[in-house]
Structure 1
Amino acid sequence: MSKHGFFQITQKLFLRNGDQMLVLRDRKSGHGDLPGGRMNEDEFFSDWSESIFREVTEELGEQIKIDVNPEPIFIHKHMVNEGNIPCIIVAYTAKLLNGKIQLSDEHDFMDWVDIKTFDPSKLFSEYMLEAVQLYLTKYA
């Protein structure tokens, strides 16, 4: 008999400024990433948007102001690079309102890419690549 799985939840934002989308690169793995991250245990029974805003503040700085659509656009599987832990991506769309991004130590690269011409395979890999391709197919 197979046993139930335990999976972490990561919330990721497709952060847009018009036709531009923010992409990041994870410093440790060298793989492409999106703003957001894993939910802490104590955040599970709270409003999940609190977890999103905590992650965005940690990764992009205090100055950035965004508008997140609270309705997820899709769910996707993922493996967290650190420890190869199976994870569920809950993906959201968000708009940049204003503010200057200050990258944290988690990421060593960022770029605003044109959603109509961006090739995610140069930066992203595996399940995250599939998630970005899914987004671009639906929303570019």
Structure 2
Amino acid sequence: MSKHGFFQITQKLFLRDGDLLLVLRDKKSGHGDLPGGRMNEDEFFNDWTESIFREVEEELGTNIKIEVNPVPIFVHKHRVNEGNHPCIIIAYDAKCLDGKVNLSDEHDYMEWVNINSFDPQKLFSEYMLEAVQLYLKEYA
């Protein structure tokens, strides 16, 4: 008999400024990343956007003002590099309203890329690559 799996939840933002999309690179793994991250246990029964905004503040600083559409645009599977945990990506559409990114030490690279010409294969891999390709196919 198979048993139920336990999966972590990571909320990721496709953060846009017009045709530009913010992409990051994870310092530890060297893989492409998007703003957002894993939900903490104590955040699960609260409003999930609180978890998103906590992660955004941790990763992008307090100088950037964003608007997040709370309705997910898609759900995708993922495997967290650290510990290899199976994870569910919940993807959201977000807009940069004002301010500047102040990158945390979790990431060592960021770029605003044009969604019409960006090739995600140079930066992303595995399930995150699939998620970014899915996004670009739908929204570019």
Identify the residue that residue 65 of structure 2 maps to in structure 1: 65
| CA distance in structure 2 between the partners assigned to 1:139 and 1:110 by the alignment | 21
Q: How much has 1:100 moved relative to structure 2? A: 1.1
Give the letter aligned to residue 95 of structure 2: K
Distance apart, 1:18 and its partner CA? 0.2
Please tell me whether residue 34 in structure 1 is matched to residue 34 in structure 2: yes
Hey, what does 2:139 align to over in structure 1? 139
Structure 1, unaligned stretches of length 5 or more?
none
Amino acid at match of 1:36: G
Deviations 1:7-53 (A, max 9, x none): 00000000000000000000000000000000000000000000000
Secondary structure (helix, strand or coil) at the match of 1:57 reads: helix
Give the distance between the partners of 1:65 and 1:20, measured in 2 at CA: 16
Give the SS at the match of 1:121. helix
Residue number in structure 2 paired with 1:12: 12
TM-score, normalization by structure 2: 1.00
Letter of the aligned partner of 1:72 in structure 2? Answer: P
Distance 2:60 2:107 in 1: 10
User: Distance in 2 between the 1:72 and 1:80 partners?
Assistant: 20
Q: CA RMSD in A?
A: 0.3
The one-letter code of the counterpart of 1:121 is: Q
Q: Report how many aligned residue pairs link the two structures.
A: 140
TM-score, normalised via structure 1 length: 1.00
What letter corresponds to residue 105 of structure 1 in structure 2? D
Q: Which runs of 5+ in 2 are unaligned?
A: none
Runs of 4+ aligned structure 1 residues displaced above 2 Å come to: none
